[in-house]
A and B are shown apart, each in its own frame.
Chain A
Amino acid sequence: MSAGDTTGAAVAFHGVCFAYGASEVLHNVTFTVPPRALVAVVGPNGGGKTTLLRLILGLEQPRFGTVRVFGEPPAAARLHMGYVPQVLACDTRFPVDVRDVVLMGTLDRRWSGAFGRRERRAAAAALERVDLVGFERRPFADLSGGERQRVLIAQALAGDPDLLLLDEPTANVDPPTADRLHELFRQLAGSLTVLFVSHNLGVVTASASHVLCVSRTAGLHPIADIADNTFQAAYGGGRMALLRHDTSCQVVDASGVLVSPHQGCACDAAGAEKTP
């Protein structure tokens, strides 16, 4: 995939560097996500996965380089994006019910007004997609962590996004629900672009169309390119889900292996240091 050709791309990074103060989190990141891809974002903790999502959303500004979403600057494309953060940035005891949380996903720049039939219908459809029909009037505070996560996914879907960004969407949910959610992401990828952060390599290989390895730098790889030999070399042959701790160690390895041939930058050094 050539870095220059970004026409029609859902997300395009070009030479992006980002730092919090003096510590550089992402260095010279260039990749292009084609539309309707299902991209698994993998990498070690602290490798910059969440920062990368925040750059796509325009919540952080790159120090160098450009980020484009559907050819536009991130802030201009925000209403086309749905975002489910990893750690809920809100008060989980806030007095609000499920339907109102989902409806918030349909808000826009308009000044005022009540939610109309269109918004209500979008919210109901979104709740149906995450298997939470009948939860409309349940207080958000009374839900389990996994249910809350699904409500927030519904919220992101209610805005009818063209790009869905999910930061560890299945971290708090039980395995059967996680499977259903991944099936949902697969279905959604038929009509929109989905980026999800995951530590579960079984899911990554089973469902993603692309893998974005993020560890200070980043490289995007069609799943076919990392089938069998590369992936198995990096992860020791198994395709089963790995424990998070192991995964984070091993994915460092993977990104080093996978990224270095494409980028040819200093990123693999960072990976090599952490490799056991």
Chain B
Amino acid sequence: MTFLADLQQHLFLQTAAAACLLAAIASGVVGSLVVVRRTTYTAAAVSHCVLAGLGLARLLQRRFDIAWFTPMLGAVATAVAVALILAGLSERGGQRRDAVLSVLWSVGMALGITFLALTPGYQEDLGGYLLGSILLVGRGDLALMALLDAVVLGVVLLFYNRLLCVAFNEELARLRGLRVRFYETVIHLLTALTVVLLVQVAGIVLAVALLTLPAATAGLLTRRLDRMMALAVALAAVVSLGGLALSYVPELPPGATIVELAAGLYVAVLGANRLLRRRWRR
């Protein structure tokens, strides 16, 4: 109850709750696409690369006084760049895709660590970026998050039938004359932007868990992609708000609590599903 009382009083808590809800929208929609296409590893690589953008922004702001280059902008720029690299990669066969993902993943982290090390007095940022700092989300970040949500929803609504076909059977999409490369790039960009949102909530290390767990849970409960998306949004909202509330009084890291709650929900639904199905068969 302390949480609810403080939520009414403190602006930072209201902002954090709003950030949770805004992140849940993109996370549920794009997370469902990522889960059914089995590309969670791509999302993880983007997430870790984002550190390079965050670090570069800090360095430019603090050492070279380029104030307009905010960490959020750095994160978005890096994520978009990585998404475009990955989209180009899948076009060229991509037999070594996992190796390239690992390289991007670790080089992105390495650059981020170096940039932060060169930034005077901001070493402590590293922990915040890695583990998330939802309680430090600012009002300006909320506006950007809402904008990203609008982009994600607009694109998915506009292209839903085509995205569904590309995700279901790429060869069929190609035979029907769909611009498969375009739609794949769109999916990569949406994934990248969503990961940036989730890094705000859960941090670089845990963002992918928040992207995939609600979607995977929803996938157990429904057999249509559109319903899976809607349900995943709801589940992501519930676990992020729930995690925020649960972590508040014991002063636990909110990102970690959110992910633990999401994982607990997934395991519970998986277990219930198995039990029900076994009973059905008998």
| Chain A contact residues, CB within 8 Å of chain B | 57, 59, 78-79, 81, 83, 85, 89-91, 94-97, 100-101, 103-105, 107-109, 111-115, 139-142, 155, 159
Partner of A115, one of B161, B222, B223: B161
Question: B142 contacts the other chain (Cβ, under 8 Å)?
Answer: no
Q: Which of B149-187 contact A (CB under 8 A)?
A: 158-159, 161-162, 164-165, 167-179
Task: Please name all residues of chain B whose beta carbon is closer than 8 Å to the beta carbon of A103 when the two chains form the complex.
Answer: 161
In the complex, what residues of B have CB within 8 A of residue A113's CB? 161
User: With A89-B169, A96-B224, A139-B223 given, is the CB distance from A108 to B164 under 8 Å?
Assistant: no
Contact yes or no, B169 A112, CB < 8 A: no
Q: How far is the CB of B133 from chain A (nearest CB, A)?
A: 34
For A142, list chain B residues within 8 Å (CB).
223
**Which residue of chain A lies nearest to B228 when distances are taken between CB atoms in the complex?**
A95
Count contacts between A and B, CB distance < 8 Å: 86
Kindly provide the distance from the CB of B40 to the nearest chain A CB, expressed in whole angstroms: 14
CB distance B164 to A79 under 8 Å? Answer: no
Query: Which of A81, A97, A107, A142 is packed against the most chain B CB atoms within 10 Å?
Result: A107
* B36: interface (CB < 8 Å): yes
Contact in complex: A96, B161 (CB < 8 Å): no
Cα(A24)–Cα(B222), bound, Å = 46
Residue B107 lies at the interface, judged by CB distance under 8 Å to chain A = no
Judge whether B176 and A104 touch: CB under 8 Å. Answer: yes
Q: Is the CB of A95 within 8 A of B175?
A: no
Known: A79-B177, A139-B224. Contact between A107 and B161, CB under 8 A? yes
Interface pair A85/B171, CB less than 8 Å apart:
yes
Given A101-B168, A104-B168, do A95 and B176 touch, yes or no (CB 8 Å)?
A: no
Q: CA A181 – CA B178 in complex, angstroms?
A: 29
Which residues of B are at the interface with A, using a C-beta cutoff of 8 A? 36, 38, 158-159, 161-162, 164-165, 167-179, 219, 222-225, 227-228
Closest beta carbon of chain A to B39's beta carbon, Å: 12
- In the bound complex, CA of A94 to CA of B35 (Å): 10
Residue of A at shortest CB range from B32? A95
Closest approach, in angstroms, between the C-beta of A147 and any C-beta of chain B?
14
- With contacts A95-B222, A95-B223 taken as known, whether A81 is within 8 angstroms of B175 at the C-beta atoms is yes
> Which of B164, B172, B227 has the largest count of A CB atoms less than 10 A from its CB?
B172
The contact sample of 9 A-B pairs, CB cut-off 8 A, is A91-B168, A94-B167, A96-B164, A96-B223, A105-B172, A107-B173, A109-B178, A112-B159, A112-B162
CA distance A91 to B167 in the complex (A): 9
Bound-state Cα–Cα, A135 to B270, Å: 27
- Asked whether, in the complex, the Cβ of B219 is within 8 Å of the Cβ of A95, the reply is yes
B224 touching A97, Cβ below 8 Å: yes
Q: Which residues of A contact B162 (CB under 8 A)?
A: 107, 111-112
Closest chain-B Cβ to A98's Cβ sits at a distance in Å of 11
Nearest to B179 among chain A residues (CB) is: A109
A195 CA to B107 CA, complexed, in Å: 51
Residues of B within 8 A of A90 (CB): 168-169, 172
Which residues of chain A are near B176, meaning CB under 8 Å? Answer: 78-79, 104-105, 107-109, 159
Q: Given A95-B219, A95-B223: A104 and B159 within 8 A (CB)?
A: no
Write out the residue numbers on chain A whose beta carbons fall within 8 Å of the beta carbon of B172. Answer: 89-90, 104-105, 155
A97 contacts B171, CB within 8 Å? Answer: no
Q: Which A-chain residue is minimally distant from B183 (CB atoms)? A: A111
15 new A-B contacts, CB < 8 A, other than A59-B175, A107-B161, are A78-B175, A78-B176, A90-B168, A90-B169, A90-B172, A91-B36, A95-B219, A95-B222, A95-B223, A96-B223, A100-B164, A100-B224, A107-B173, A109-B177, A111-B159
